[in-house]
Amino acid sequence: MNVERTSAVEDRAARHAALGDPSRLRIVDLLTLGDLSPSEIRATLGLPSNLVAHHLNVLESVGMVERSRSEADRRRSYVRLTEAALADLAPGRTERAQRVVFVCTANSARSQLAAALWATHSTIPAASGGTHPAERIAPGAVATAERHALALPGAVPQDLGSVLADSDFVITVCDTAHEEIGVTGNLHWSIPDPVRTGTDDAFDSAYAELERRITELAPRLTAP
């Protein structure tokens, strides 16, 4: 018997078993496109906190979700799907959008890179804005774009209020911005701020995570 193959089948069976509960399946559906705090899951599904905690513990025990601490409110955590969560399983959520707007606090790094990356993966227009825009795009973001042959827009960071339209599909890529605008956003991606660290590795890590998520989202976001 192939032990490695048996282990893989058992892993898939465990994940299928975890998804056998309707509430856990709904949680995974929600997390297929963005990160959520336990309180946001509770509010969306109308479940008591003890049940949300139980369901998240089950999903975590089979390696489907992981948690990270908010960079803004350190008491808050965000839940995300692991990279292998849906291996050999079919995701189940699609959305429609006329335009995608990526949001972070300063509109100087993550949201700028995200909008530029989106343009390489989808024909749906993209823009970006900040809740407290900086004076210029972060040099580290410019250098990262150059390393990856990505064309960044030449515009200075924009205030979100001057960019956002009612029909936009909003993706926050910054914990602080997400917690500031709250339910205004359609999706949240909890991506650490590379400007805080300032290293090439930090910017490249943010770039890689944005590219992974955009690659997954682009074919599942369609024009009306």
CATH number of 3-81: 1.10.10.10
Lowest mean pLDDT among 37-51, 78-92, 130-144, 206-220: 78-92
Domain ranges of the chain: 3-81, 95-222
Higher-pLDDT residue of 33 and 65 is 65
Whether the predicted pLDDT of 43 surpasses 50: yes
Cβ 198 vs Cβ 142: under 8 Å: no
Q: What does the angle CA 118 – CA 72 – CA 104 come to, to the nearest 5 degrees?
A: 25
Tell me the pLDDT band of 2, cut-offs 50, 70 and 90.
Answer: very low
Tell me the pLDDT band of 106, cut-offs 50, 70 and 90.
Answer: very high
Helices vs. strands in the chain: H and E counts, helices first: 10, 8
Query: Can you tell me the mean pLDDT for 30-48?
Result: 96
Query: Can you tell me the mean pLDDT for 133-139?
Result: 96
Average per-residue pLDDT in the chain? 92
Q: What is the pLDDT of residues 139-161, one digit of tens each?
A: 999 999 999 999 997 779 999 99
Nearest to 44 by CA among 171, 223, 188, 166: 188
Tell me the pLDDT band of 1, cut-offs 50, 70 and 90.
Answer: very low
Nearest to 189 by CA among 134, 118, 122: 118
- What's this model's pTM, rounded to 2 decimal places? 0.76
Which CATH superfamily hosts domain 95-222?
Response regulator (3.40.50.2300)
